């Protein structure tokens, strides 16, 4: 079945970086765009950015542009989110989600979420 499996929870100090992985299976990885979305406890969804897997083209929300990197590894069908200069406000559950080109133009495959806690 189609799925995205994310890496485990992270606890980080302020000012450091975190790298979260998202491994795809069960669908055409190269024909997808993987989004990263985060959700602080009790809050709404916030889009961070995306990567078009085939081209490697990326796009980011303005507030994250200076400190986020999204990459992909075609050999392992994995997308990575790298967020630097962490602060307490970055504490949230981070989700990856895929838009499958030629299927439905919405995020119809989601990862289970990765909890990132930023605390001194």
Partner 1 sequence: QSALTQPASMSESPGQSITISCTGTRIDLDDYNSVSWYQQHPGKAPKLIIYDVNNRPSGVSARFSASKSGSTASLTISGLQAEDEADYFCCSYTSSGTVVFGGGTKLTVL
Residues of this chain that bind partner 1 (CB under 8 A): 35, 37, 44-47, 50, 59-63, 95, 97, 104-108, 110-113
What is the closest distance, in whole angstroms, from the C-beta atom of residue 16 to partner 1 in the complex?
Answer: 26
Residue closer to partner 1 (CB basis): 13 or 44: 44
What is the distance between the alpha carbons of residues 119 and 84, in angstroms, rounded to a whole number?
Answer: 14
What is the closest distance, in whole angstroms, from the C-beta atom of residue 109 to partner 1 in the complex?
Answer: 9
What is the closest distance, in whole angstroms, from the C-beta atom of residue 9 to partner 1 in the complex?
Answer: 14
- Residues facing residue 93 across a β-bridge: 39, 115
Q: Which of 109, 68, 105 lies closest to 85, judged by CA?
A: 68
Residue closer to partner 1 (CB basis): 11 or 61: 61
What is the closest distance, in whole angstroms, from the C-beta atom of residue 92 to partner 1 in the complex?
Answer: 13
Residue closer to partner 1 (CB basis): 61 or 74: 61
What is the distance between the alpha carbons of residues 109 and 102, in angstroms, rounded to a whole number?
Answer: 14
Residue found by looking up tokens 């995020």 in the block = 107
- Residues facing residue 79 across a β-bridge: 22, 72
State whether the Cα torsion 43-60-106-73 is positive or negative.
Answer: negative
Residue closer to partner 1 (CB basis): 38 or 72: 38
């Amino acid at each position: 079945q189609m799925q995205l499996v994310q890496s485990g929870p992270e606890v980080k100090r302020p000012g450091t970086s975190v790298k979260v992985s998202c491994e795809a299976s069960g669908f055409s990885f190269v024909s997808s765009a993987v989004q990263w979305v985060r959700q602080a406890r009790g809050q709404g969804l916030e889009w961070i950015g995306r990567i078009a897997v085939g081209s490697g083209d990326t796009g980011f929300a303005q507030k994250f542009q200076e400190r986020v990197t999204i990459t992909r590894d075609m050999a392992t069908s994995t997308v990575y989110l790298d967020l630097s200069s962490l602060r307490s406000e970055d504490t949230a559950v981070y989700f990856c989600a895929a838009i499958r080109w030629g299927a439905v133009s919405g995020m119809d495959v989601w990862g289970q979420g990765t909890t990132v806690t930023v605390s001194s």
